[in-house]
Each structure stands twice: as C-alpha cells, then as structure tokens.
Structure 1
Amino acid sequence: MPDTMNYKHLHYFWVVAHEGSIAKASEKLHITPQTISGQLSLLEQRIGNALFEKAGRGLALTDTGRIVLRYADEIFELGRELGDVLRGAPVAGPSEFIVGAASALPKTIVYKIIEPALHLPHDISLTSREGPVDGMLADLAVHKVDMVLSDTPVTSAVSVKAYNHLLGESGLSCFAAPRLLKTYKKNFPQSLNNAPVLLPTPQYAIRQLIDGWLQEHNIYPVICGQFDDSALMKSFGQVGMGIFFMSSAIEEEICNNFNVRVVGRIDDVKQKFYAISAERKVKHPAVAAICDTARSALFGE
C-alpha cells in the first residue's frame, strides 16, 4: 500500500463503486469513461491489487476493493462534514461503532463491557454482532467490525493481524433455581457430584476450564444439557433443569434477572475477557472507553 494516496483517483473509484459501472460514473462526474478508466488503472497500480472485477455488464468489488471502499466512504463523509462545519452547519448523525462478540459470552457481560462507549461526549451508532470468533476476526481484518470481544486471545496461529487487550478476569459462580439450592449448596463443591448441570458445548474455552476443574476435584456431575447460547442455558437453569456456571462479575444481574441463587463460587478458575482490535495501541475512543472502564470498574484491576 502506498504511503500517499491520490485523492482524485480515490474519488473516481468511490463514484464507480457506488454507481456500479464506469459508464454511470462518467455521466455523474461529466468525465469521459476513458479518463475514469485510466485513473482507476493508475490507482490499482499504486495499490498493487485490482479493485474491480467484471460481473455481467457491470463491475463488482474485489476483496481489496471492499477494504478501500470502506475507507473511502469514511474519507468523503468526513470531507462532507468538514464542509458543513466550515459553513457553520452542525455535524449530523452519530459515528458508527461496530462490535463483534463471541457467541459464548453472556449477553449481560457483553452489555456491561460495551456500555461505557454509550457515554462518550459525541453520540455513536452501535452495531453489535454475534458469532464464532474466527468469523468475527475475519470481519475485523477487513474493517467490518471495530472490535471483537472474546474470552480467548487471538494467537499467531490465526492469519489475522490483530492485537489482544486484556480487560480483566473473573472467577466463576454456580447458579441454581431456588428449589435446588438447599440440596446442592451444602458441602459445595463436592455436592456437585452426580448433580444435574448445564454446560456450554465443548468448543468453548469456558467449557474446557470447567471440565478441567471438575476433573481436578474428582467431581462427576450429570450433564443434562449443553448449549451454544448462554442465554438459553440460563433460561433452562431458571426452571430448575440443572446448575449452571457463569462469571462472578455478573452474579447480581443473573440472580435478579433469572430468579436463581448462588450455589457456590469457584475462585481458582479464572475466565479472562479480551477486546481484540486491529491496532496495537488503542486509538478508537469507544474502544479506549471500554478498556479503561472494564479494567477499573467491571473487573476491578
């Protein structure tokens, strides 16, 4: 990627991308198609990758083209805002902030982590996405998300340039419906032997931590359910199907929202939480607010 960018070439690219063809862009810009074609070729040479590929009678963006378009959208939107400011018009609309959250993370803790970004001096438009971590990291690589929340750090085995920002860690609490409390609270954690439990599916890091802890203490519960969705697991726990494990950082919210009680706490198992970004040093104001508040308040480092 070049150190400097010809913004006239970038503007031609931007118009072609939104119009879908050089002919339509030519009509809009009042410039000959040959001129636009030549300028696009210079831009592609400068970048070192094709930006478009043929799609029927029109053009489709390549992977590189999609990355360039997202930045171009921001650049020319900022240019429009600058023009408005210089003319004395107010800057319209909140800035977009897109967060990807790993499916296994409890929705309550995702909310508590993100919530500080909603109190920045300028308004933001929040988009929250959920899915497997690998998919979220792929979106991060092409700037479709600004930050990924996960309980596992990104490693060198993943072919994505991303950086881990540890937000904090929390022990685990065991929760149960009130009718199960008396039976399993006494003599915890040995009381979990042969107890009905609800667990995340084995693909998740938290499940591996729980399995290791159970094995270490020679505890063999009866697994009554395994879940990809932590909210669904809590709903089944609420009706007494079994005991479930969640971060102690959201203990109060879980008890109040699901009418369950704490059976016991596991302080020697720590679930870690990470904000993963495309930048080594956090510059995005929303990501910075999230990191600072999580470390100082939510996880109490």
Structure 2
Amino acid sequence: MSENLNYKHLHYFWVVATEGSIARAADKLFITPQTISGQLSMLEERIGQPLFDRVGRRLRLTETGRLVLRYADDIFELGRELSDVLRGAPLVGTSEFIVSAASALPKTIVYKVLEPALTISDDISLTCKEGPVEAILGELAVHEVDMVLTDTPLSSAFSIKAYNHYLGQSSLSFFASPALAAKLDDNFPLNLHDAPMLLPTKQYAIRQLFDKWCTDNNVFPTVKGQYDDSALMKSFGQSGFGIFFMPSIIEAEVKKAYGLTVIGRSQSLKQKFYAISAERKVTHPAVAAICNTARDIIFK
C-alpha cells in the first residue's frame, strides 16, 4: 500500500458509505456513478483490500471498510471544525485540555500554574497527568497531551519537535522537621554537610544544579532518599527522615501544611520552570493564559 492516500478518493468512499449507495453519493456530489465507481476501485487498489461487498444492488462495508470509515469520519469532522474555526465560529461543547507535569514539581506550583487555564472559559475541561520527564515528553511527541510542565527544558537529547516556553524561576528554601532542625546549627549552608538529605532523582534539572552547588560550597550531605514524587519526598521530610528543598515562592504553604522549620535559603540556587508545547508561537488560549500568568504574577 502507498504511504499517502488520495483524500479525494477517500472523500468519495466516505460519501458512498454514509449515503448507502453509489447512486445517492453521485447525486450529492454532482458527478456520475461511473466516476465514483472508478475512484473507489483506485482507492481499493491502493489499500490492497476491498472496502465493500456487493450484495445484489446493495453495498455492505467489509471489515477493512468499517475501519477506514471510522478514520474518515474523524478526518472529515476535523475538516468541518477547521472550516468553522477559520470562519470565526465558536467551538461547541467542552474542550479538553490535557497537561502532563513532571512528578518532582511541587503540586502547589502545578496548581498555581494551571489554575488560569480554567478561568478563561467554562468550556475547558482540564486533565492533569504526571510522570517522569522522559515519559511525559513521549506523550507530547505522540500528541497525547497539549502541554508538559517541567523544570527540565527540552534539549537536542530528546528527538521531539516541540518548544520551551520559559515561565520563571524561584530561589530555594530548605526544610526540616522541628526535631531534626534542633540538631543542626544555624550556619547555612555548612549545616547541610553530613546531614541527612532527601532529593529529587537525577533526571531533574534542579538535582543536577544542587549537586554542583554542593561541590562549589564544599558541602556534602548524606543522601537518605531520592524521589520522583515531590509529595512523597515532603511526607518523608515531615517524618524527620531528612532535609529537603522547595521553591521559596511556596515556602509559607509548605511550612503550614507540614509543620516544618526553614533551616536556610539559597538565592544563588534557583529552580526554573517551563511549559513545553508543540507550538513555537503560543496560540492555544489555555497555554497562553498559563504562560502569561506565570510570568506576570506567579514568578514575577
């Protein structure tokens, strides 16, 4: 079978299948039945399988024909929708907006970043997923999601045609349970040396930056745990298993929610945040609302 279907042939097939006969399709398309029959034969030859069984004067779709019809329905429905959008007609019904967030991102920040997408229209339905960086970028590559949120910008290491949209950055605050904090002196960051530390896994940009920052400051904590999930890391930190860091823009929320003590802050170590989408120039209204609010308000 040729890689490229002739969409004119596919359209004739679709009209025949939906109208139920070549004669009715010919009336609708204002062409002769012989022309349609010839076009159908060419499509079947290209596909390599029959699309209809002839039962007397009636046409009955084969299994292959039913499969092709399902795809044709989607293709020509999208074509009609595109025509309506280009004419300025509003989209009807709820529009699903699907986002995948890197698991290590704090859930509070993910909420703050995504919340504007729900305020621009009552017709947007948000689906929010999470996972490791490579997995969620893979979802973007096959168009299963509209946008990815991460602290790790897309690079040439990922063979994906997509674009980084920088949202902003935050310095870091370091947290410990009150009992663990009481065992540490106040000399930050030296109080991290040999102290138990809970960290994101090395797939995340902030972990790589933290490791370099420790080397630059001649500080080497004892890594007690590494996590893909920020909420799990905070729970272990709350139980006193180690120190962990979070963006300073959510310091107050973390302290209040988990009853933790801030043992230090770093202004030189910053976590950056990106929205990654298939668009070089953002046109999706939800993505535009997210980017604009993040830059102008959340990370200002």
On whether the aligned pair clears a TM of 0.5, the verdict is yes
Counterpart of 2:209? 209
Identify if the C-alpha distance between structure 1 residues 61 and 30 changes in structure 2 by more than 3 Å, giving closer, same or farther.
closer
Matches within 5 A, 1:103-252: 103-184=103-184, 186-252=186-252
Counterpart of 1:20? none
- Quote the sequence identity (%): 53
Q: Shift of the alpha carbon at 1:41?
A: 6.7
For residue 30 of structure 1, the aligned residue among 4, 7, 20 is 20
Q: Shift of the alpha carbon at 1:146?
A: 1.0
Task: Give the AA of the match of 2:166.
Answer: L
Distance 2:275 2:289 in 1: 11
Matched residue of 1:188: which SS?
A: coil
Identify if the C-alpha distance between structure 1 residues 121 and 185 changes in structure 2 by more than 3 Å, giving closer, same or farther.
farther
Counterpart of 2:99? 99
Q: Is the 8 A contact 2:198 2:223 kept in 1?
A: yes
Q: Is the 8 A contact 2:132 2:228 kept in 1?
A: no
Q: Shift of the alpha carbon at 1:174?
A: 0.4
Q: Shift of the alpha carbon at 1:178?
A: 1.7
Q: TM (normalized to structure 1)?
A: 0.75
Q: Is the 8 A contact 1:166 1:274 kept in 2?
A: yes
Counterpart of 2:56? none
Q: Is the 8 A contact 2:173 2:265 kept in 1?
A: yes
Q: Deviations for 1:148-171, whole angstroms, at most 9, x for unmatched residues?
A: 111111123322211111000111
Distance 1:81 1:163 in 2: 24
Matched residue of 1:184: which SS?
A: coil
Distance 2:154 2:210 in 1: 21
Q: Shift of the alpha carbon at 1:138?
A: 2.8
Distance 2:160 2:42 in 1: 28
Identify if the C-alpha distance between structure 1 residues 156 and 226 changes in structure 2 by more than 3 Å, giving closer, same or farther.
closer
Q: Is the 8 A contact 1:148 1:275 kept in 2?
A: yes
Q: Shift of the alpha carbon at 1:295?
A: 0.4
Q: Is the 8 A contact 1:198 1:244 kept in 2?
A: yes
Distance 1:257 1:149 in 2: 23
Q: Shift of the alpha carbon at 1:122?
A: 3.9
Matched residue of 2:183: which SS?
A: helix
Task: Give the AA of the match of 2:95.
Answer: S
Identify if the C-alpha distance between structure 1 residues 8 and 38 changes in structure 2 by more than 3 Å, giving closer, same or farther.
closer
Q: TM (normalized to structure 2)?
A: 0.75
Q: Is the 8 A contact 1:185 1:264 kept in 2?
A: no
Q: Shift of the alpha carbon at 1:111?
A: 1.2
Matched residue of 1:160: which SS?
A: coil
Q: Is the 8 A contact 1:171 1:270 kept in 2?
A: yes
Structure 1 residues without counterparts, runs of 5 or longer: 16-24
Note the aligned Cα RMSD (angstroms).
4.0
Matched, 1:292 2:292: yes
Q: Shift of the alpha carbon at 1:128?
A: 1.0
Distance 1:60 1:140 in 2: 29
Matched residue of 2:184: which SS?
A: helix
Q: Is the 8 A contact 1:9 1:40 kept in 2?
A: no
Larger radius of gyration: 2
Matched, 1:255 2:245: no
